[in-house]
């Protein structure tokens, strides 16, 4: 099939590349000339495992091209995906100006009927607005499909190529059939993974899925905070409830809060959609509130240990991205924790396998950046683990102990062996269980 993808950001580039991988002719469009120039040179604007190799392969095979010329891309295609940003407005609602602008550009350029696919995460009712915007600029009929993405950053290629499900929302039988044929190569093992529904239900499905996952995270963080107060261990509680087949293990990890481009934005957007329709979504309001508070749990623990004034203290931070296997720092807990430390007078030395350049955009020269994790801990007062990258999971604790001023670790992801750290004399602060505070790690005078 001949496909245009308007928007070559995270979703658009992954989707376009994967469609090309299955044999389609794909044109990725973006208004950012530098991004398109870089893509022509093989420079990928985002970090996503496996994406660079797949892009280069499909460019070489001439199935994947990049352009700033939306008109010609639309004319050359039968299906046009809209995968532009939908940033939150001040009130939390999704800003649709880029989506509707893309829809109008499709209408203006159309040389025949087109299938327009909303791939961006958009609120209920957007498809009708997209259809109106496109047909208002065209003499041709437009079919608008809602096809929400369910990609996890760090595993997006696998998620797209081997999806749990594909949701297709359409009120047009022909468009639904075309979309089914497009996705069949990805679900050849089980065609029932393609789920057809009406457009509005599809639009709400993406928000509902992310809101449910965010709810599970905030719920476990609330349980973790109770565990600390009663002397229980949240990792054991997680096992106890997660092995219940009605509940399951995924997204029940306690930690220092969720971030990223989806959960915070989508929770706010569905709350706003509810308000616009006269409904008070109390659960999600609490989910959001709990998450914002949770992002300060680690910095609160630091101040409880060292005192409220951190002037003269230096802290090593391992992990800046909101999750492993991505350089995305949008709403990352590290931003809030580091800012809290800086405001209390501390110095911060930080490292991350992929997100250092993004961190420079956030913090500038306010913190020190280190390529090697062990460089951050040299003469630091404590180590803060904020992102559970694989390379941080089994460090040399003897080396850490020798480099730190005192053996203190704040673990925002509960990845370190509590008993082993106790044996080695560390003071260890996890999330959701009693800390280890040893007599061998006093807080020294500054």
User: Which residues are tagged catalytic?
Assistant: 262
The angle that helices 282-294 and 263-276 make with each other, rounded to 10 degrees, is 150
Measured distance CA(342)–CA(345) in Å, rounded: 5
Q: Using CB atoms within 10 A of its CB, is residue 165 exposed (0-12), middle (13-18) or buried (19+)? A: middle
* 41 burial type by CB count under 10 A (0-12 exposed, 13-18 middle, 19+ buried): exposed
What whole-number distance in Å separates Cα of residue 145 and Cα of residue 131? 10
Residues in the chain: 446
Q: Distance (Å, rounded) from C-alpha 222 to C-alpha 234?
A: 10
Residue 392: count other Cβ atoms within 10 Å of its Cβ.
Answer: 21
The structure tokens listed for 87 are: 């940033």
- Indicate if the alpha-carbon torsion angle 43, 44, 47, 53 is positive or negative: negative
Per-residue DSSP letter, 94: B
Reading the block at residue 377, the tokens are 């801990």
Helix (H) or strand (E) holding 349: strand 347-351
Tell me the DSSP string of 95-136. Answer: --HHHHHHHHHHHHH-SS-EEEEE-S---TTHHHHHHHHHHT
| Distant-in-sequence, close-in-space partners of 193: CB < 8 Å, separation ≥ 6 | 163, 164, 165, 166, 187
Half-sphere exposure at residue 323, Cβ-oriented, CA atoms within 13 angstroms: 14
Give the contacts of 42 (CB within 8 A, at least 6 positions apart): 52, 55, 56, 59
Q: Based on the number of CB atoms within 10 Å of its own CB, is 231 exposed (0-12), middle (13-18) or buried (19 or more)? A: exposed
């Amino acid at each position: 099939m001949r496909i245009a993808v308007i928007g070559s950001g995270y979703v658009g580039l992954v989707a376009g590349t994967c469609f090309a991988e299955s044999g389609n002719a794909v044109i990725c469009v973006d208004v950012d000339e530098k991004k398109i120039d870089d893509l022509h040179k093989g420079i990928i604007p985002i970090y996503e495992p496996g994406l660079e190799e797949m892009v280069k392969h499909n460019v070489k095979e001439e199935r994947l091209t990049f352009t700033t010329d939306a008109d010609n891309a639309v004319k050359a295609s039968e299906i046009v995906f809209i995968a532009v940003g939908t940033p939150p407005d001040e009130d939390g609602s999704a800003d649709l100006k880029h989506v509707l602008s893309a829809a109008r550009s499709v209408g203006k350029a159309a040389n025949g009927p087109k299938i327009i696919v909303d791939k961006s995460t958009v609120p209920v009712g957007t498809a009708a607005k997209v259809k109106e915007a496109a047909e208002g600029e065209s003499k041709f009929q437009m079919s608008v499909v809602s096809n929400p993405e369910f990609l996890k950053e760090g595993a997006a290629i696998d998620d797209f190529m081997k999806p749990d499900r594909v949701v297709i929302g359409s009120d047009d039988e022909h468009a639904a059939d075309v979309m089914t044929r497009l996705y069949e190569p990805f679900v050849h093992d089980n065609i029932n993974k393609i789920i057809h529904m009406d457009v509005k239900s599809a639009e709400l499905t993406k928000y509902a899925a992310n809101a449910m996952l965010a709810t599970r995270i905030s719920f476990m963080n609330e349980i973790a905070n109770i565990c600390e107060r009663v002397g229980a261990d949240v990792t054991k509680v997680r096992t106890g409830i997660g092995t219940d087949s009605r509940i399951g293990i995924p997204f029940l990890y306690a930690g220092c809060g969720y971030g990223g481009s989806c959960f915070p934005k989508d929770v706010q957007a569905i709350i706003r959609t509810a308000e616009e329709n006269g409904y008070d979504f109390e659960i999600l309001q609490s989910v959001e509130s709990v998450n914002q508070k949770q992002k300060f749990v680690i910095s609160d623990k630091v101040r409880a240990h060292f005192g409220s004034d951190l002037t003269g203290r230096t802290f090593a931070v391992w992990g800046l991205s909101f999750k492993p296997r991505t350089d995305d720092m949008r709403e990352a807990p590290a931003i809030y924790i580091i800012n809290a430390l800086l405001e209390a007078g501390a110095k911060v030395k930080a490292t991350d396998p992929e997100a250092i350049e993004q961190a420079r955009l956030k913090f500038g020269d306010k913190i020190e950046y280190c390529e090697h994790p062990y460089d951050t801990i040299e003469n630091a007062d404590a180590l803060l683990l904020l992102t559970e990258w694989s390379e941080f999971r089994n460090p040399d604790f003897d080396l850490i102990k020798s480099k730190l001023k005192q053996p203190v670790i704040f673990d925002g992801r509960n990845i370190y062996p509590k008993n082993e750290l106790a044996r080695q004399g560390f003071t260890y602060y996890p999330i959701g269980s009693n800390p280890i505070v040893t007599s061998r790690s006093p807080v020294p005078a500054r």
